[in-house]
Homo-oligomer: A and B are copies of this chain.
Amino acid sequence: MKLYGYWRSSAAYRVRIAMNLKSLAAEQVSVHLVKDGGEQHSREYQQINTQELVPSLMIDDNGQQRVLTQSLAIIEYMEEVYPEVALLPSAPFDKSIVRAMALTVACEVHPLNNLKVLQYLANELDTTDEKKAAWYHHWVQEGFSALEKQLEQHSGLFCFGDTPSLADICLVPQVYNAKRFKVDMSPYPNIERINVHCLTQQAFIDAIPENQLDAS
């Protein structure tokens, strides 16, 4: 398998954690999201991922090279094809709780705060750095407040009980990101506690952006 990613991409970070938890290895190919206007827009990478986004996972599917895209679709694929270690609980209702937590990050926070959106705000809407920071903080705070309440109900050592799941896989990269943008984490004690615990685990440590070969 080949994982096309970028050290600081939250979506690639998610897939790295999932692969580590499942002890899956992949060759890492770096797609620099900033250099030369973004290597994800190169003609070569467009052949791999028409969305011009990372991550992409190239797999061998019965002798054919295939490309998987969208981090959550990639992780659900792995969950099906490599069921050990499970990243979703087995009961349908429990599974829906974990997926809902993951989607709170993946649909309510991350899409509003990623690089291309911050670039649009600055370039097209002449948003000042101060207002851009307020935008960033606003969506993190809204999402984390909702998540914090879900965690009060369902968390143990991890987001859902005492084993890592898709929810932690989405949460930890988002917290990494939030801290980079200096979001005050004190209103979210459960998120903070779970993030700290996750980062004691080797699968999470090995996936940290700064521990990637292309980190700069």
Contact = CB atoms under 8 A, between A and B. Distances in A.
A107 B106 contact: yes
A150 B50 contact: yes
Closest 8 CB pairs of A and B: A73-B99, A111-B111, A50-B149, A51-B146, A70-B100, A70-B103, A77-B96, A73-B100
Contacts of A77: 92-93, 95-96
A112 interface: yes
Contacts of A69: 100
Interface size class, chain A: 35 or more
B125 A96 contact: no
A72 interface: yes
Interface stretch (A26-34, A131-139, A187-195, A202-210): A131-139
Interface of A: 50-53, 59, 61, 66, 68-70, 72-74, 76-77, 80-81, 92-93, 95-97, 99-100, 103-104, 106-108, 110-112, 117, 120-121, 124-125, 127, 131, 134-135, 138, 146, 149-150
Contacts of A70: 99-100, 103-104, 107
A76 B99 contact: yes
B61 A103 contact: no
Residue of A59, A125, A134 contacting most chain B CB atoms (<10 Å): A125
A83 to B, nearest CB: 11
A107 B107 contact: yes
A95 B107 contact: no
19 contacts: A51-B108, A51-B146, A53-B108, A59-B93, A61-B93, A66-B93, A70-B99, A70-B100, A72-B99, A72-B107, A73-B100, A74-B96, A80-B92, A80-B95, A107-B111, A108-B111, A124-B131, A124-B138, A125-B131
